[in-house]
Amino acid sequence: MAMKAYSAEFKADAVALYVSDPSRTYASVARDLGVNAETLRLWVRQAQAAGTAPQKARPVKKSSDAPVTSDDVLEEENKQLKARIRELELERDILRRAAKYFAGETNW
């Protein structure tokens, strides 16, 4: 089987997508992009070794000791929704670039 050659931009976008969301796994991001999970893991490790990608953040659990007001709940939900919007926009941009890349490879 022939190895596929991915552009540096595609690799950087894939790494950014993985690092941007602490709840995503290598397998889920790789499946969305159509690459092997081990390939994505290698790209992430290379980017982190080169210092171009931050370490993936761990999800933070909040303690439930303090009373929660409705304003706090709304602010937290708004924060989560904005983060989800950023994630979806990033995914959309990556998929657009990938579609452009793969469309350029076809020789009909």
Examine the pLDDT at 63 and tell me if it is beyond 60: no
| 34, part of any domain | yes
Q: How many domains does the chain have?
A: 1
Q: What's the pLDDT tens digit per position in 10-31? A: 888 888 888 888 888 899 988 8
| 85, part of any domain | yes
| 1, part of any domain | no
pLDDT of residue 27: 92
Residue 36 identity (one-letter amino acid)? N
| 62, part of any domain | no
pLDDT of residue 5: 83
| 63, part of any domain | no
Identify the domain containing residue 93 by its residue range: 8-57+68-105
| 83, part of any domain | yes
Q: What's the pLDDT tens digit per position in 35-45? A: 999 999 999 99
Q: Is the pTM of this model over 0.75?
A: no
Cβ-defined contacts of 19-23 (< 8 Å, 24+): 19/44, 19/53, 19/54, 19/55, 19/56, 20/86, 20/87, 20/90, 21/87, 22/56, 22/57, 22/58, 22/59, 23/59
Q: Residue 73: CB partners within 8 Å, gap ≥ 6? A: none
d(CA 54, CA 65): 31
| 86, part of any domain | yes
| 3-state DSSP assignment of residue 12 | helix
| 2, part of any domain | no
Q: Residue 29: CB partners within 8 Å, gap ≥ 6? A: 14, 17, 18, 40
